Amino acid sequence: MKNLITLMSGAALAVGMSLTGPAAAQDCPRGDLDKRFCDVDGDLLADTPTDPAEQLDPDTLIFAYTPVEDPAVYKTAWADFLTHLEKETGKKVVFFPVQNNAAQIEAMRSGRLHIAGFNTGSNPLAVNCAGFNPFTIMAGEDGSFGYEMEILTYPGSGIEKVEDIKGKQLAFTSPTSNSGFKAPSAILKSDFDLLPDRDFEPVYSGKHDNSILGVANKDYPAASIANSVLARMLERNVVTEDQLVSIYKSQTFPTTGYGVVYNLKPELKEKIRNAFFNFEWEGSSLKEEFEKNGEGQFLEMNYKDFWDVIRKIDAANGVSYACE
């Protein structure tokens, strides 16, 4: 078992990693990628192994969606898509309900996860440490995409602006989350001179729905969250607008990135890719869930360009992608 990464300002994320197959360092360009990978084409993603013996063609494909809320909600939401994926690939597809971001990265790195949607902040970790190859995100039918980080409080909390967080508690989700930790940490430091432990007490809820419910129920005076999750919770009446007050809204960030592990056979990768782009959203369980925040198609993207702002936030926070 190996320790994955240490993140910003003394906040550590230790992720147990077990390696499968040869892990010897390769003499090839790799940038920030783990030493097991190569990046000959310079797209910042791990290349497919050139040796066919190192390419995977499993009978059963494992899919996992980022654990932003209760995994049970998303097993139902993804049901129609996974049926479509089975038809396109000719393989059985199983939904893997991960409980946290670290477990999802570990599953892919250890060869137990083949297809996934990783949240915004976890994408660079999954790319560099687990060989994740993202190629699409969800978007609106007009091509618009993304979400904003918001800082929420509740009416009567005594917090009317960001500066009022000083001396109080602020709930993050987890150190790998962009909107639940990375972006607010950078923004609070650079724009408001607010640092965790020095100026406010940081706590970790584990997931965005926990943070939102925590504020709505007055367990936390404030929390940083992804407003795409908030929109879906409001639509399902899990929380109501009168329970929450937004005191900050960020620029738009890319949302969950979807893709495959680097070492699948190229023909299988292509079938999976096609399944995303030829999926019929209309009348599907996927549309029923994700149209709540305006999404209705899979939009092709590339990690190098779309995640540039996220890598810059990581750099500003001193994040290392080293996989020890």
> What digits encode the pLDDT tens for the residues 150-175?
999 999 999 999 999 999 999 999 98
Domains parsed from the chain with CATH numbers? 5-143+254-316 (3.40.190.10), 149-253 (3.40.190.10)
Burial class (CB in 10 A: 0-12, 13-18, 19+), 222: buried
Q: Residue 5: is its pLDDT beyond 90?
A: no
Give the whole-angstrom CA distance, residue 9 versus residue 319.
Answer: 9
Quick one: pLDDT at residue 99?
84
Quick one: pLDDT at residue 6?
33
% of the chain surpassing 70 pLDDT: 90
Which of these, 101, 108, 127, lies nearest to 205 by C-alpha position?
A: 101
Q: What is the mean pLDDT of residues 208-226?
A: 97
Q: Residue 30: is its pLDDT beyond 60?
A: yes
Quick one: pLDDT at residue 312?
87
6-15: per-residue pLDDT in tens? 333 333 333 3
Between 129 and 8, residue with greater pLDDT: 129
% of the chain surpassing 90 pLDDT: 77
Q: What is the mean pLDDT of residues 289-309?
A: 92
Q: Residue 92: is its pLDDT beyond 50?
A: yes
Between 72 and 90, residue with greater pLDDT: 90
Looking up tokens 């729905």, which residue turns up? 209
Q: Residue 63: is its pLDDT beyond 90?
A: yes
Averaged pLDDT score across all residues of the chain: 89
Q: Residue 29: is its pLDDT beyond 90?
A: yes
Lowest mean pLDDT among 168-172, 244-248, 291-295: 291-295
In Å, the largest CA–CA distance within the chain is 62
Quick one: pLDDT at residue 69?
65
